[in-house]
């Protein structure tokens, strides 16, 4: 049990570097590790509940937290959808209307709150207004499109919910300090602290070559997977509390038995997202009949085509595998990465496994083949 409670202590190196085999999988979650930079950015962990004074207070607090978690999941699922009504919006963003799945009215309905109360509850629990939260996610998603696709800037602007490229450029410059075109030309997220990023776009580079790294990369069709997740928001190096919470909830329910699958969902790139807003989901696989409540939230990882490879070795070298897969293997495959988080499956436990023998299965979702 103690092993289950000491989970996934990620190192700060992440901010500077970018068929599962049952015989390999261990029944313990990962621990001290450095997660890689993800090629994709979507429910922030809510702030700790305030002190409570009894069961009724705890029940009410959990109810509101679950409502906001439900809204955040809904927002992430619909982030790429926009209303196309002709009414004008502010700041050059596409207008909102009842047809917009992300309108304040629809989000309030998902939370079963009035729009007036919903906005106050959301802002107080998440730390950003609904509009600011959506705008930030869309711009960070757009930065990923600029980095990893050849889509025209106008198409990226429209996908991000802006009516014109000019309006998108103004908002993007405010957020990232450069125009979309400058961002793309300069190597996207290349910074002095992250010089390896330029290597992603150099096919001749040998350090990030899949074969040189011993990666057996393939495209695999995976079924949908239901998981119980606890969200962490903040630096990846501080996500251990999410694993402690998840395992503390799951153990008494008998959900940490032999064969349990431990997964991590890394939503944000720390070179794009502010450290205090980075999102990470600590997950365990559960069945369709398992009840998920309390601090955990039920998610379904979609089925479909994924690029899959097993990284062998220390967690701090995972960024090399991601660079090789995303920067070299996928571009040559003829397929396109989906604008969704990558998934990591932790096949053994670093508390009992030498660093050189650690196994982490990387799963990168793909856009469905035409």
Q: Looking up tokens 């000491």, which residue turns up?
A: 6
Report the distance separating Cα 349 and Cα 25, nearest Å: 9
DSSP state of 90: S
Distance of CA 16 to the CA centre of its chain: 18
Provide the 10 A C-beta neighbour count for residue 317. Answer: 19
- How far CA 317 is from CA of 12, 257, 283, 309, 314, in Å, comes to 13, 29, 22, 14, 6
Helices (DSSP H) in the chain: which residue ranges?
2-5, 55-77, 104-111, 115-126, 130-148, 153-159, 165-176, 180-185, 197-200, 240-250, 318-324, 330-333
Q: Which of 184, 186, 207 is nearest to 319 (CA)?
A: 207
Report the distance separating Cα 171 and Cα 167, nearest Å: 6
pLDDT of residue 33: 42
- How far CA 366 is from CA of 40, 239, 341, in Å, comes to 11, 27, 10
pLDDT of residue 284: 97
- How far CA 46 is from CA of 109, 110, 296, in Å, comes to 20, 17, 12
Tens of pLDDT, residue by residue, the chain (370 residues): 333 333 333 333 333 333 333 433 444 555 444 333 343 333 444 444 444 444 444 444 456 778 888 898 899 888 877 544 433 344 555 544 446 888 888 998 998 877 766 876 787 778 888 888 899 889 988 998 888 888 899 999 998 989 999 999 999 999 888 999 999 887 654 333 333 333 333 334 556 788 888 899 999 999 999 999 999 999 877 888 999 999 999 999 999 988 999 999 988 777 667 889 889 999 999 999 999 999 999 999 999 999 999 999 987 788 788 878 876 788 778 888 887 888 999 999 877 899 999 999 999 999 898 7
Sheet with 262-266, side-by-side order of all strands: 218-222, 304-312, 359-365, 342-346, 262-266, 279-285, 225-233, 297-301
Residues 201, 150 contacting (CB under 8 angstroms): no
Report the distance separating Cα 228 and Cα 282, nearest Å: 8
pLDDT of residue 82: 57
Residues 17, 38 contacting (CB under 8 angstroms): no
Which 3 state secondary structure label does DSSP give 297? strand
Domains of the chain: 2-37+212-365 (3.20.80.10), 55-185 (1.10.10.60)
pLDDT of residue 187: 62
Which 3 state secondary structure label does DSSP give 279? strand
């Amino acid at each position: 049990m103690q092993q289950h409670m000491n989970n996934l202590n990620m190192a700060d190196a992440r901010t500077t570097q970018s068929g599962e085999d049952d015989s390999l999988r261990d029944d313990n979650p990962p621990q001290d590790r450095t997660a890689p930079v993800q090629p994709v950015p979507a429910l922030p962990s809510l702030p700790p509940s305030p002190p409570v004074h009894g069961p009724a207070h705890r029940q009410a607090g959990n109810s509101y937290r679950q409502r906001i978690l439900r809204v955040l999941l809904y927002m992430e699922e619909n982030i790429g959808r926009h209303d196309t009504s002709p009414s004008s919006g502010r700041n050059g963003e596409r207008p909102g209307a009842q047809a917009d799945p992300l309108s304040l009215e629809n989000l309030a309905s998902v939370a079963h709150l009035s729009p007036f109360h919903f906005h106050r509850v959301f802002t107080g629990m998440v730390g950003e207004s609904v509009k600011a939260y959506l705008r930030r996610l869309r711009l960070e998603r757009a930065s990923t499109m600029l980095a990893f696709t050849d889509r025209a800037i106008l198409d990226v602007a429209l996908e991000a919910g802006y009516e014109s490229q000019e309006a998108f450029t103004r908002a993007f410059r405010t957020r990232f300090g450069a125009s979309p075109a400058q961002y793309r030309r300069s190597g996207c997220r290349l910074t002095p602290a992250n010089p390896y990023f330029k290597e992603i776009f150099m096919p001749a580079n040998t350090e990030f070559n899949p074969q040189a790294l011993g990666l057996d990369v393939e495209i695999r069709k995976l079924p949908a997977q239901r998981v119980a997740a606890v969200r962490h928001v903040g630096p990846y190096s501080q996500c251990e509390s999410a694993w402690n919470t998840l395992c503390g909830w799951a153990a008494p329910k008998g959900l940490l038995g032999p064969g349990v699958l431990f997964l991590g969902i890394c939503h944000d790139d720390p070179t794009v997202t502010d450290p205090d807003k980075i999102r990470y989901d600590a997950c365990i696989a559960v069945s369709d009949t398992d009840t998920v409540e309390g601090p955990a939230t039920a998610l379904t990882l979609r089925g479909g085509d994924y690029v899959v490879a097993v990284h062998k070795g220390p967690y701090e070298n995972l960024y090399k595998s991601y660079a090789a897969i995303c920067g070299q293997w996928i571009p040559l495959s003829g397929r396109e990465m989906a604008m969704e988080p990558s998934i990591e499956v932790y096949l053994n436990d670093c508390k009992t496994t030498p660093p050189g023998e650690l196994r982490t299965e990387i799963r990168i979702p793909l856009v469905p083949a035409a």
